[in-house]
Amino acid sequence: MSNSKSKSPSTDSARLKRYLTWFALVAIFSIACWFLSQWQFARRAQVVASNNLVINNYDQTPAAFAALVKNLDAFEPELEWRPVSLHGKYIANASWLIRNRPMDGNPGFLQLAAFRTDAGRIVFIDRGWLPTGDLHDRPDHIPALPLGTETLVGRLRAAEPKLDRGAPKGELPSIDTRAATSELPTAVSDLKVYTAGYIRLTSESPKFDRGTELPKPELDEGNHLSYALQWLLFALMAIAAVVWAIRQERLAIEIAAGRAKPKPVRRKVGQADDDAEDLLLL
């Protein structure tokens, strides 16, 4: 008896340390799950905001570019996808192929061209998608730019960031308007350039040969909400698992000490007969 009692405090201490370790691990895991869930909630919020811009702006009546865009160097996010109209001429020898632009699973390019408006502003125009040619390094056909005066209608897009990769002459790795500006002919170097964004062409008058217009963005929120809820569920499950394990261990101790009785095993209806048949077959 005395030997049993002398071991009890150390046993309780070891058990307490084990419980505290479990709770510490669960706390760390739960905090990680919380931050991961918040990250997924934030990503969903970004997707919802982008979808709302498409819903609110995509099908609006085109407005004059000069009336809508006041700052040529800073893009206003609320103008994303807004239709605008411009009048002027394309700048000769000022077009580029934008690399690595697949559409519907097919590799291709975008054709970016510089357009001079009647107000003396230069705006970059995405003239559509071109499939990769037989040699897999350029399109088989690159539409020539119209030479005359054109009226354009298109949607505003934010300029893309500069990518840390090279491209052959006449091509760009992204719609980096500042890089394109640096390659403009010297004859227009004194004109102001819309570097904050570009315009995805939807129509031009008179009509001219151009690439395929990219489709409307899909309004899909993705799985961010379900992932966020799953992370929260994982945290709750971890907490519940530790609580259950501790309760089961405490119950086992109580039963071993005679302070509790094990739960009776509930037999299904007809199980006694099945057990009797099993004994006869042995």
List the pLDDT tens digit at each of the 282 positions of the chain: 444 444 466 777 888 888 889 999 999 999 999 999 999 999 999 899 989 999 999 999 999 999 999 999 999 999 999 999 999 999 999 999 999 999 999 999 999 999 999 999 999 999 999 999 887 788 999 999 999 999 999 999 999 999 988 888 999 999 999 999 999 999 898 899 999 999 999 999 999 999 999 999 888 888 899 999 999 999 999 999 989 988 888 887 777 777 666 666 565 555 655 655 555 555
Confidence (pLDDT) at 269? 56
Together in a domain, 51 and 116: no
Together in a domain, 72 and 167: yes
Report the alpha-carbon distance of residue 43 to residue 6 in Å, rounded: 57
Together in a domain, 242 and 139: no
Confidence (pLDDT) at 267? 59
For residues 118 and 151, is the Cβ–Cβ distance under 8 A?
no
Together in a domain, 48 and 106: no
Sequence-distant contacts of 44-47: CB under 8 A, at least 24 apart: 44/221, 44/222, 44/224, 44/225, 44/228, 47/220, 47/221, 47/222, 47/224
For residues 149 and 89, is the Cβ–Cβ distance under 8 A?
yes
Domain that holds residue 53: 14-58+232-260
Confidence (pLDDT) at 219? 85
Report the alpha-carbon distance of residue 88 to residue 149 in Å, rounded: 5
Report the alpha-carbon distance of residue 62 to residue 153 in Å, rounded: 7
Together in a domain, 193 and 95: yes
Looking at residue 67, what DSSP letter applies?
A: H
Together in a domain, 135 and 178: yes
Together in a domain, 46 and 73: no
For residues 132 and 218, is the Cβ–Cβ distance under 8 A?
no
Confidence (pLDDT) at 268? 58
Confidence (pLDDT) at 245? 87
Cα dihedral 44→48→49→54 (10° resolution) = 140
Together in a domain, 113 and 200: yes
Q: Indicate the pTM of the whole model.
A: 0.74
Q: Is residue 279 part of a domain?
A: no
What is the helix (H) or strand (E) element at residue 244, kind and residue range? helix 224-256
Confidence (pLDDT) at 248? 85
Together in a domain, 74 and 106: yes
Report the alpha-carbon distance of residue 39 to residue 33 in Å, rounded: 10
Together in a domain, 105 and 135: yes
Confidence (pLDDT) at 270? 57
Q: Is 274 helix (H, G, I), strand (E, B) or coil?
A: helix
Report the alpha-carbon distance of residue 11 to residue 160 in Å, rounded: 64
**Total domain count, the chain:** 2
Q: Is residue 169 part of a domain?
A: yes
Q: Is residue 121 part of a domain?
A: yes
Together in a domain, 143 and 78: yes
Omega within 30 of 0 (cis) for the link into 146: no
Together in a domain, 243 and 130: no
Give the residue from 187, 205, 223 where a domain finishes: 205
Q: Is residue 107 part of a domain?
A: yes
Q: Is residue 3 part of a domain?
A: no
